[in-house]
Amino acid sequence: MHLGTFRTADLAPGGRMLERTAVRGALFRGPELLLLASRHGDYKFPGGGVEPGESFTNALQREFHEECGYVDVAVGTELGTTREEVPAIEAAYDVFGMTSHYFSCTGGAATGGQDLEGYEAELELTPEWVTVDDALAANRAVLASGVGVMRWLVREIAVLEWLSARSR
């Protein structure tokens, strides 16, 4: 199921595109979802880019370990995908295109340690258990304030809205 396409208006038509595939996990514990809270007060799903030769399952398990400090996460069925197209940061490209695959996950055991990338550490990403509706409200507030990472806020809001509607 396709959960949304997010494209900025200032993209060069037919421009040189850098493609990336990502995986993201929805790990529930009762009514709460394990998400990453940023210093801005918004939430994002654990996950990230799939490395060459890496399976979606292995990539998502690696990301849960690096970002949340969780091991033994079981990756289940794919919930859906999102597509983003934004101006590329790299000079050799005009457009950065990313397809994110969202998966239901179960299990997991906290090890207590994170191994964050530079921008993740700068955003002070911290794993938190939060309800879908609370995360959705927080992300909408941060989007309205203009202080968060707009690119992923729009994407994560769409997925949280879908999860919220699905649970009703």
**Using one digit for the tens of pLDDT, what is the confidence trace for 110-157?**
997 998 988 889 999 999 999 999 999 999 999 999 886 677 898 999
Residue 150 is predicted with a pLDDT of: 73
- For the segment 17-65, what is each residue's pLDDT rounded down to a tens digit? 999 999 999 999 999 999 999 999 999 999 999 999 999 999 999 999 9
User: Is residue 105 pLDDT above 80, yes or no?
Assistant: yes
Give the tokens for residue 103. Answer: 């998966």
What's the predicted TM-score (pTM) here?
0.93
3-state SS assignment for residue 30: coil
Range of the domain at 149: 2-166
CA distance 154 to 140: 9
Other residues' Cβ atoms within 10 Å of the Cβ of residue 10: 7
Q: Which of 1-5, 43-47, 95-99, 151-155 has the highest mean pLDDT?
A: 43-47
Residue 92 predicted with pLDDT over 80 = yes
CATH number for the domain harbouring residue 103: 3.90.79.10
Residue 67, CB-side half-sphere exposure with 13 Å CA sphere: 29
Domain tally for the chain? 1
DSSP label of 99: E
